Amino acid sequence: MRKFLKFLKWTGIVILSALLILYITIELRQNRKFDAPYPAVRSTDDSTVIARGKALVYGPAHCANCHAPKEMEEQVNKGIETPLSGGFVFDLPIGKIYSKNITPDATGIGNMTDAEVARALRYGVRKDGRALFDFMPFHNTSDEDLTAIISYLRHQPAVKNEVPENKMNIIGKAVSAFMLKPVGPAGEAPVSIKRDTTALYGQYLANNVANCRGCHTNRDLMTGAFIGEDFAGGLEMDTPTDSGTYYIVTPNLTPDSETGRIKGWSQKQFIDRFRMGRIVKQTHMPWGPFGRMSDDELKAIYNYLQTVKPVRNAVRAGAYKK
């Protein structure tokens, strides 16, 4: 019996020592720095470029959905232009992530160079070299569009708002320590891309600006990694309400003849749906900004979605869970 108790004691010591070493290692790796190129992107005072940037920011790029204050959520849902002063909280299984102030104030991007902002968007690397969580879809956004976006961000009104640092739980810290790293472009990002109604331009918008793939493809919410077929839906999102938590599962957008949400839709029906705005109150879809997209942009996305691989994936309807 004495030997058994001694074994338990030393086993406990070994386990506790291992956990302590792991905890210390996790803490020491929270501020890992990464190298990434600085894109050759510079803002401009050209009014045409700034107008293009504004159209992207408040349209397909839907920056306001994350970077507007929480109290202005209803205005964002209506497509109204709101300050991009940050502070929106994403309460995730890994902790609380706060969207940043991206106005040209010193508490926002006022102390960042154009190249530093461009690097954050394209490679997910902060000014101090730490990696960002991969929420933004701009890795393969063209130099031309990044220039327009940054030019508009520089010319919007500056708003002073100190946003808290992310508050990660132990799981989030472990993800940060061992899994979080920069995500760069797939291949070489384009310098520019022709804006028209083709499936090619729709592919660009859906993957590199509007981030349709980011929500309509199932993902691991711990790491952000894609674990489902592209555009086949299945990503579960929750919204706390007074009646309990409402869970929505993103629809299948592939042209599958049985389970595709937009199967049989005409181009006009697709555009008309965007003009209707938000119908399901709990949805995470940025209907307000997307409703500001031009007919040609929506035609391009529609044309592209007709070309993606059909995937049979029946997605259940949203429901409350108490």
> What does the pLDDT average to over 111-126?
97
- pLDDT recorded at residue 301: 98
Q: Mind listing the pLDDT tens digit for each residue in 230-259?
A: 999 999 887 776 667 778 899 999 999 999
* 18: pLDDT strictly greater than 80: yes
Query: What average pLDDT score do residues 277-289 get?
Result: 90
Is residue 316 pLDDT above 70, yes or no?
Answer: yes
Q: Do the Cβ atoms of 235 and 218 come closer than 8 Å?
A: yes
pTM (2 d.p.): 0.90
Rounded to an integer, what is the distance from CA 115 to the centroid of its chain? 20
Encode pLDDT of 71-93 as tens digits. 999 999 999 999 999 999 988 88
224 backbone dihedrals φ, ψ, rounded to 5°: 85, 0
pLDDT higher than 80, residue 306: yes
Q: Is the pLDDT of residue 298 over 80?
A: yes
d(CA 8, CA 27) in angstroms, rounded, equals 28
How far apart are alpha carbons 288 and 248 in whole angstroms? 18
- Tens digits of per-residue pLDDT, 155-211? 999 999 999 999 999 999 998 999 889 989 999 999 999 999 999 999 999 999 999
Q: How far is CA 132 from CA 16, 47, 50, 184, 247, in A?
A: 31, 31, 26, 12, 27
What's the confidence (pLDDT) of residue 193? 96
- pLDDT higher than 80, residue 279: yes
Q: Give residue 92's pLDDT.
A: 84
* DSSP strand pairing (89-92 vs 236-241): unpaired
CB of 281 closer than 8 Å to CB of 224 = no
| pLDDT at site 82 | 96
- Rounded Cα gap, residues 84 and 99, in angstroms: 9
Nearest to 209 by CA among 40, 47, 55, 48: 55
CB count in 10 Å sphere of residue 45: 9
Q: State pLDDT tens for residues 56-71.
A: 999 999 999 999 998 9
Amino acid identity of 100?
K
* Dihedral (CA of 9, 10, 15, 21) sign: positive
Inform me whether the pLDDT recorded for 224 exceeds 90: no
pLDDT tens across 142-161, in order?
999 999 999 999 999 999 99
What phi and psi, each to the nearest 5 degrees, are found at residue 247?
Answer: -105, 130
Would the pLDDT of 3 be above 80? no
Question: What is the separation, in whole angstroms, between the first and last Cα of the chain?
Answer: 48
